[in-house]
Structure 1
Amino acid sequence: MLGTLKGEVIAMDASTGEEKWRARVTSEVLAPPATNGDVVVVQTQDDRVIALDASTGDRRWIYESTPAVLTLRGTGAPIVTNRLAVAGLSTGKVVALDTQNGVPVWEQRVAVPQGRSELDRVVDIDGGLLLSGGVLYVASYQGRVAGLELESGRVLWQRDASSYAGVAQGFGNVYVSLASGTVEGIDERSSSALWSNDSLARRQLSAPEVFSSYVAVGDLEGYLHLLSQ
């Protein structure tokens, strides 16, 4: 499955690369679609979440929300389970939708817009969501990094942070690349910082990945950095 800047979702045969179907959605697709085998869920740049039939590409449902006045360019990839499709919005909210009909099951605010100017009030969730052990990990720009209970949306822990990238999880810790270029390791039980590395400041870091006993991040100049956990 892939999305395009022309507002299309394309399904291809994994063995042959042959196109199976192509579907038009409402605007640009800047993050990979996700599927549970029954539906393909895509989030568009205009803050809509759309479910397509995985076999035919026909639209099943659409969830519409009002985007923030000013947003970063980008969206996170949704998380899809058998029951829920979860997406982070430009308003700093996470919404969980019923995969059968698109009806909201729960909604949780991760970031609260603050400040006088629209720029100050940008709180996009642009990094990919991470699901591990029934906990949904999410980071927002000018907001927080948080762990949410998947089934209810209840906040298990949270910590002030500003990130446009996703998070990683491993060894009972959560790792996040901040917008400043600092990488933080966070104890997910207490939400306290275990360590902070600011040696990569202003290098526009990617989302972290846990690799063996290391945390890996890439930067705008094409370098890969390994940090000890």
Structure 2
Amino acid sequence: MKTHFALLGLCSVLFLGGCSSTSSVMKEPAELAHLDSFYTLKKNWQVKAETMPNRDSEGLFFAEDKKNIYVATATGYLMALQKKPTSRWQDQVIWQTKFASEVVSGPAKQGEQLIIGTAKGALISLSTNNAQIKWQTQLSSEVMSYPVIVQQKIFTRTVDGKLYAIDFETGEVVWIVEHEMPTLSLRGSPAVLYHENILYVAWETGIIQALSVNSGTLLWEQRIAQPKGRTALERVVDIQASLVIKEGRLIALGYHGKLVSMNPSNGGFFFEKELSGYRDFVVDENRIYVVDDSDVLYAFDLFSGAVQWTQTAFKDRLVSDLVFYKDNLLISDGWGYLHWINRIQGTESVRVKHSNEYGDGNRILRIQVRDNILTLLDNEGTVTQYEVVPSNLALFKKESAK
């Protein structure tokens, strides 16, 4: 039996395959220094579904078109919401539907179809117009990884170590690749990465594989995390962070492993760094920005791997996946704070707190950035759209400078 564990809420929780008991460890988070923020958040709208268990949110993302945004919750809801603010929250919701099983991945969108995966192993295609189901395919187990749609196929993974290629129009299985899974791993599975007719897959064994998109044939594989230690927990390795290709380099981060830059054509290393992490990182034309499993942030030179800066101000604050906000990095922490980080220096420039009528400082599970608009999904199942605007301090200083 495969066992998962995940870092949740404000503590580390071990899920021991079917057992009801859990073991929790709480670390003292770094105290935030005072910061005068030049920006604040203007709430445009907010819609609530149901409180979600954090462990089932890793495969959930926003999908969108010109007018609408689509989001699923781990409690089984799938919603279509207007991007433009309306006078009532009921009008913000175009449609919503609830499934008997938890939705644990998606929605992914192509054309007028949405693709979601459920905890009961169903991969479902629905209409963006009214949520009508076009087809439903039963896979072998929980569909945890975000569905990737390329070449009229859907590529997704199940927790029992299978990678599926599914026909986008019919839902028929085109091919399956199986990988032997470890007994213990982190909860969740990153999406596959498609690039130039190759699928790059990060497995819970600490191995990255390159596969033919047409047949699933193995082209090469490389290990970036090696089990070591005396106890089962010490020997856990995994790759949870999404893979990135930038400037001809495949970047990967292993839990109890390494940060590596690889040749996408053969898996050879350009450089390796001893670093353990599981959150999604981001890459620009010059640097790789990473958060490790102690919530310390790093910037590495994209080409040499040299450390550009290190930021320890958020240590043990349960930092989220990294995203870009214009010239800054944007992260959230386990207490509902959003932090803007200067890319060049690694210093915090802006801090605001997300809260709503359902709770103060709810943990943010997903952040989408579009210009100065933020859309958030939090652990209360609340979707919030904010506009980032100058704070009173910024306006005061602007007036004083005249």
Give the TM-score, by structure 2 length: 0.54
Deviation at 1:163, TM superposition (A): 0.7
1:50-61 equivalent positions in 2, closer than 5 A: 50-61=164-175
Deviations 1:99-137 (A, max 9, x none): 111111111111111112121111110122222343222
1:12, distance to aligned residue in structure 2 (A) = 2.8
What per-residue deviation string (whole Å, max 9, x for no partner) do you get for residues 135-190 of structure 1?
22211111011122222222222211111112100141001111101111111211
Q: Structure 1 residue 218: deviation in Å?
A: 1.7
Give the structure 2 partner of residue 30 of structure 1.
144
Aligned CA distance change for structure 1 residues 15 and 174 (closer, same or farther; 3 Å)? farther
Q: Write out aligned runs for 1:176-187 (5 A).
A: 176-187=290-301
Alignment of 1:1-229 (within 5 A): 1-14=115-128, 17-81=131-195, 83-229=197-343
Counterpart Cα distance in 1 of 2:116 and 2:266: 29
**Secondary structure, counterpart of 2:185 in structure 1:** coil
Structure 2: which amino acid aligns with 1:122?
V
**C-alpha distance in 2, partners of 1:2/1:81?**
22
Contact 2:120 2:142 in 1 (8 A): yes
Q: How many residues align?
A: 229
Q: Deviations over 1:9-35 (max 9, x none)?
A: 222344554432221222212231112
Of the structure 1 ranges 180-189 and 77-86, higher mean CA displacement relative to structure 2 is found in 77-86
Is the 2:245–2:251 contact (alpha carbons within 8 Å) kept by the matching residues of 1?
yes
Structure 2 Cα separation of the partners of residues 151 and 38 of structure 1: 24
The one-letter amino acid of 2:137's match is A
The 1:17/1:130 distance shift into structure 2, 3 A limit, reads farther
Q: Contact 2:246 / 2:285 at 8 angstroms: preserved in 1?
A: no
Which residue of structure 1 lines up, in the alignment, with residue 55 of structure 2?
none
> 1:81 Cα deviation (Å)?
3.6
- Rounded Cα–Cα distance in structure 1 between residues aligned with 2:337 and 2:142: 28
Cα deviation per residue 1:62-86 (whole Å; 9 max; x = unaligned)?
1111111211111111112452121
Separation (CA, whole Å) in 2 of partners of 1:187 and 1:34: 29
Which letter maps to 2:155? V
Gap regions ≥5 residues in structure 1: none
Q: Is the 8 A contact 1:36 1:82 kept in 2?
A: no
Q: In the aligned structure 1, how far is the partner of 2:259 from the partner of 2:329?
A: 17
Larger Rg: 2
Q: Relative contact order (alpha carbons < 8 A, sep ≥ 6): 1 or 2 greater?
A: 2
Write the distance in 2 (CA, Å) between the matches of 1:57 and 1:133. Answer: 34
Any gaps of 5 or more consecutive residues in structure 2? 1-114, 344-402
Within 2, Cα distance between the matches of 1:9 and 1:147?
33
Please tell me the root mean square deviation across aligned C-alpha atoms, in Å.
1.6
Counterpart CA distance in 1 for 2:201 and 2:141 is 16
User: Alpha-carbon deviation of 1:213?
Assistant: 1.4
Tell me if the contact between 1:138 and 1:166 (Cα under 8 Å) persists in the aligned partners. no
Contact 2:192 2:202 in 1 (8 A): yes
State the alpha-carbon separation in 2 of the partners of residues 156 and 13 from structure 1: 44
Q: Distance in 2 between matches of 1:74 and 1:193?
A: 29
Asked if the contact 1:39–1:99 (Cα under 8 Å) also holds between the matched residues in 2, the reply is no
Cα distance in 2, alignment partners of residues 194 and 158 from structure 1: 15
TM-score w.r.t. the length of structure 1 is 0.93
Tell me which amino acid in the other structure corresponds to 1:144: K
Change (3 A) 1:140 1:63: same
Query: Whole-Å Cα distance in 1 between the matches of residues 334 and 151 of structure 2?
Result: 34
